[in-house]
Amino acid sequence: MSDIDETSPRPATAAADRFDPTGTLLERMGIEVTEASAERTVGTMPVRGNTQPAGLLHGGASAVLAETLGSIAATLHAGTGRAAVGIEINATHHRAMRDGVVSGVATPVHLGRSVATYEIVITDDQARRVCTSRLTCMLVDART
């Protein structure tokens, strides 16, 4: 792993280098991380392919986007040699979507030594709130 300034916003290419989605749920769901730092992590996800049988954006898909963004931010906060493990997530769904792309922004609520909590706001292309989520991660030593 290269030396990365883990406190400042990073371009999508740097985020992709550190958090390779190949073969992961992120790849399957079409999640793209466009900005990543401990203070703000941003990503997008298409609605198509992430719907429930009635054709609406699946609430679980919104939770996956939220946990992805919050976990990346928490990992960056944890620092080199440490990892973030999700221990609690909730999601309030405000608006249904049938197509398009949703965007999520994770910002910190609490950044501690052993726990980090993020609010993740997911919006549509008109900046209307689709989902509000909160994720709490335990910060642990990374396994080698």
Task: Read off the pLDDT of residues 53-102 as tens digits, 9 standing for 90 and up.
Answer: 999 999 999 999 999 999 999 999 999 999 999 999 999 999 999 999 99
Total domains in the chain come to 1
pLDDT of residue 46: 98
**Residue 1 in domain:** no
CA atoms of 140 and 96, how far apart (whole Å) = 36
- Answer yes or no: is pLDDT of 144 > 90: no
Percent of the chain with pLDDT over 70: 88
**Residue 2 in domain:** no
Catalytic machinery residues:
67
User: Using 50, 70 and 90 to split pLDDT, how confident is the model at 12?
Assistant: very low
- Domain region containing 123: 12-141
Full-model pTM: 0.87
pLDDT of residue 18: 64
Q: Is the dihedral of CA 139, 28, 33, 12 positive or negative?
A: positive
What is the CATH number for 99?
Answer: 3.10.129.10
